[in-house]
Amino acid sequence: MPNQVIIPNGSPPPLAPYSPGIKSENVVYVSGTLPLDKEGKLVGANDVREQTRHVLEIIKSVIEASGGTLANITFNMIFLNDLSNYTKMNEVYAEYFPKNPPARICIRADLIKPEFLIEISSIAHL
């Protein structure tokens, strides 16, 4: 079965050659997701809570377009440009994964542009 490219309606334009998501059999791989709107403009300048919420909504749209829900996510890779944002990010993250949260990593990393405070990539099993 060939891989299926997942591009939900309203997806931000990619900043590089990649797809927002790929479904391979029953696994969905969500690319690193940045806080960009459908026109490619930054959402939540200087607000990690707003950026986190926006990123998780985009991830949710990719998973739902694949036939799943956030409950199907088994692993998240979280990248913060500053670990002082860790607590604020977790406040929003916990709203999306209140029970049985997925496994994850969270590391500090230089992101592609300094205005990006967070990037998240996910793996889901449907």
pTM above the 0.85 mark? Answer: yes
- The count of structural domains within the chain is 1
Domain region containing 113: 4-125
What pLDDT score was predicted for residue 16? Answer: 86
Q: The domain spanning residue 76 has which CATH number? A: 3.30.1330.40
Looking at the DSSP bridge assignments, the partners of residue 76 are 104, 122
Cα–Cα dist 87/39, whole Å: 29
For residue 13, name the pLDDT band (cuts at 50, 70, 90).
confident
Beta strands in 1-126 (DSSP E): 4-6, 21-24, 27-33, 73-80, 103-108, 118-125
Residue 98, both tokens: 């209140």
pLDDT one-digit tens code per residue, 18-38: 899 999 999 999 999 999 999
pLDDT one-digit tens code per residue, 54-93: 999 999 999 999 999 999 999 999 999 999 999 999 999 9
